[in-house]
Amino acid sequence: MRVMASSKDLDAGLLRRMAELGGLKLPADRAEKLLPLAKALLKSCEKLETLDLEAKGGAGSLAPWGGLE
């Protein structure tokens, strides 16, 4: 099941709604200008969706960079 907007479906209107949900009111002309970059970024996000990574819960031991494993 897809839970994110697809880069293929993305148009200026959807991009404006997504940006507004993220906290930025985007005028229509800016959304048009942003569309190619936003599509490229969503493609990157879609690649990450294909990964089958285990979601680990709880307070694990320290990861190498100091965060939680």
Q: How far is the CB of 58 from another protein (least distance, A)?
A: 13
* Residue numbers at the binding site for another protein (CB under 8 A): 3-5, 15, 18-19, 22-24, 26, 30, 33-34, 37-38, 40-41, 44-45, 47-49, 51, 53, 55-56, 63-67, 69
What's the burial of 46, exposed, middle or buried (CB within 10 Å: 0-12/13-18/19+)? middle
Q: How far is the CB of 46 from another protein (least distance, A)?
A: 8
